[in-house]
Structures are given as structure tokens and as C-alpha cells.
Amino acid sequence: HHPYESFEPVMRFIEEAADDPHVVSIKQVLYRTAKQSRIIDALIRAAENGKAVTVLVELKARFDEARNLLRAEELQRAGAQIVYGVKGLKTHAKICLVVRREDGRLRRYVHLGTGNYNEATARLYTDISLLTCRPEYGADAALFFNAVTGRSKLLRFQRLIPAPTAMKPRLLDLIASEAERARQGEPARILAKVNSLQDPDIIAALYQASKAGVEISLNVRGICCLKTGDAKHSKHIRVISVIDRYLEHARIFYFHHGGDPEIFIASADWMGRNLDRRVELMVPIEDSRARRRLLRILESYFQDNTQASKILSDGSSERLKPAAGEKKFRAQEHFFREARRTAKARDHERAMTFEPHRPK
């Protein structure tokens, strides 16, 4: 959970792969990078070390077009295979695939996230990263890169859900499923954190879910085209916006799903441009600890009574304040303290664990 937890492990993942003699290939999508990018430096070094490096560099990243072109040329000179995006679409997915030879076979390691591979903004933006070597995610990542770097289709994946082919239909199905459960008298709940909410089909589906009785809580930092406070359409929809020290950038979605929750992170907002005109990825979270943690993160924002604002029916916002006798709660401060407690606990455990030096 960045920036409360360092982006350094993500950079080390790529840097160490560049120097690891057992790594065969590295494939990555780059949308926005730092001016002096350690990640690009590592990819150049990997190519110079003889690894098969493939980088999709999105040239249509607004304000970063010139820098992306220059760095792409550097990568190409080093021997990397460069693809300048996908025709007719902007590639906004956050994904890196490392293939390593281990015990005579190939193993895939994948990073998936909600934010850019930019160590500068990673200190200022809140984002989520997932590092995994689960075979299904690795196989999907390989298929994804085959599609965006060659002339092939985004086939049905085992786990990953891509836009513009599958993400929007899946979201609409998830929302409709909660609505149906509510009609049957079952508990139904949707929590979502996005930067913007504009897509008409998603909004219409949320209205229908609200009518059915689904409890919907939305954390929308920026544009929100959903009208709150409408007794007919949005009676059960609550929308807040949290503006604080760090720019809220993570996209996290929760669907109660009859008590067996489905939780996702994504590179995409709920906007037409993201769902219909960009290459994006929505990632299901399967690890039980990670799922519980993401739910706690989502719920913490809706407890914020210091930096959160409620979106009113006329589109204006009203800053939330603690009720009489209620303690102040600031989500970002809570995440910082939680990360510090976790770090101290790990340091204590490390200090109490003896590890012998062994001859090489």
C-alpha cells in the first residue's frame, strides 16, 4: 500500500531481475515514468546483459509524450524490443512480467498495480501493488503481452480481466448480481474507490442496484456524474471524496457476493474512456490476508471525518466533521500509523531471530 509502504521493493524486483543471470526475459508496460527513472535504467541494463526485454511505451500519455519517446529510443538502442502502444487505444495497464529459469523450468513472476512505474510520484500518490508468482496470473500476463506486442486478440484469461473487452461487462454483471441478491432478501453491498465515475452504463447499473436495496458506498476523488440524494434512484448510495496530503489514486472494488466477497484492484476508473477506449487490467485478489486488508482500507475511508467530504444532490460537497463525542479519524494518518506499527513489529521479530552465517 504505497506510499505508506515503500515502492522500493517494486524497483528492486526489476533491478534485481536485470542483473540475475537466471532471468530469461522482462516484459513491461510503461505509461508515466520519473525523469531519472531507475526502472528504465534497469531495463536498459537487462537488455545489455542479453535478456529478452520487451517494453510497451505509451506515446499518448498526456504531457509525457516527448520524454517517453526519448527513453524508448534509449531502450531500443540497448537492444530492447519496443512497441509504441496499441493502434486505436491508449495502453494504461500497470503490469510487469519476469520469466526466470529455475530447476530446469521457467517460472513467471508478475507485478500488477494501480499506479505508474514512477518512483517520484509513488511517494505522493496512494496506490496498491500486487507481486505474485501464481501460475494463473503468470500465464495471463504472458497472454496479455502476446496480445499487445503482437497481432492477436485479448483472449479470455484465467484471472485477469482486461478492458476494453471484458472489464465493463464483468463490472455490470457483478453489480447486477448484488442487485439480484438484494431482491431475494440477502445482504448485498458494494464498496468502490475510484478517481472518477462517469460511465453511463455503470451509473445506470448502480441506480438499479440501489433501487433493489444494495448498500453502495463510493469513494470518488474527482469527477462524479452520479446524482446522490435521489429517493428514487440513489437512496442507498453514499458518495464521499477524500482530499489529503497524498493524492488518492488507487482503484479498489468490493462486492459482497453472498458472503464470499469478490475484491479487485484495477488500473481503470469507471469512465467511458477507461472501459471502452483503453487497454486496462482489473485484478482479482485471492489471498485471504490481502482481501481482508483491502476491505479494511476501503472501510477506513468511509470512517474519515476529517479530510472526507460528502457529495450532495446538487453536485456540491460538504466537509464531514466528527459528531458530538466522536473521535477524529483521518484515513491517511491511520494508514501511516498502521504501516509504522507493522514495520516496528517486523524489526522486533527480526531482532529476535538468529540466522547463522553459512559457508558458500
Residue written as grid cell 461487462: 169
Known catalytic residues are 92
pLDDT of 349 above 80: no
pLDDT confidence of residue 31: 87
Task: Report the C-alpha gap between 72 and 121 in whole angstroms.
Answer: 20
Q: Is 173 left (phi over 0), alpha (psi -120 to 50) or beta?
A: alpha
Which of 270, 91, 278 minimizes the C-alpha distance to 170?
A: 270
In sequence order, what E strands does 86-207 have?
90-91, 95-102, 105-113, 125-126, 129-132, 161-163, 189-194
pLDDT confidence of residue 360: 63
Element (H, E) at 230: none
CB environment 206-240: b (16+ within 10 A), e (fewer): bbebbbbbbbbbbbbbeebebbbeeeebbebbbbb
pLDDT of 340 above 60: yes
pLDDT confidence of residue 179: 99
Q: Are 267 and 113 a contacting pair, CB within 8 Å?
A: yes
SS (HEC) of 269-297: CECHHHHHHEEEEEEECCCHHHHHHHHHH
| pTM confidence score | 0.93
Question: Which residues, in sequence order, are CB contacts of 47 under 8 Å at separation 6+?
Answer: 53, 75, 78, 79, 80
Average pLDDT over residues 95-124: 97
Q: Is 18 left (phi over 0), alpha (psi -120 to 50) or beta?
A: alpha
Q: pLDDT digits over 166-210, tens only?
A: 999 999 999 999 999 999 999 999 999 999 999 999 999 999 999
pLDDT of 24 above 60: yes
Mean pLDDT taken over the chain: 94
Q: How confident is the model at residue 5 (pLDDT cuts 50, 70, 90)?
A: very high
Q: pLDDT digits over 211-268, tens only?
A: 999 999 999 999 999 999 999 999 999 999 999 999 999 999 999 999 999 999 999 9
Q: pLDDT digits over 71-82, tens only?
A: 889 999 999 999
Which of 206, 32, 21, 234 minimizes the C-alpha distance to 119?
A: 32
Which of 293, 298, 320 minimizes the C-alpha distance to 192?
A: 298
Q: pLDDT digits over 279-333, tens only?
A: 999 999 999 999 999 999 999 999 999 999 999 999 999 999 999 999 999 999 9
Q: How far is it between the farthest Cα atoms of the chain?
A: 72
Q: In the numeric block, which cell numbers belong to residue 116?
A: 505508474
pLDDT of 337 above 80: yes
Q: How confident is the model at residue 32 (pLDDT cuts 50, 70, 90)?
A: confident
Which CATH number is 8-156 given? Answer: 3.30.870.10
Q: Is 323 left (phi over 0), alpha (psi -120 to 50) or beta?
A: beta
Task: Report the C-alpha gap between 282 and 304 in whole angstroms.
Answer: 26
Which CATH number is 163-342 given? Answer: 3.30.870.10
Parse the chain into domains and list their residue ranges: 8-156, 163-342
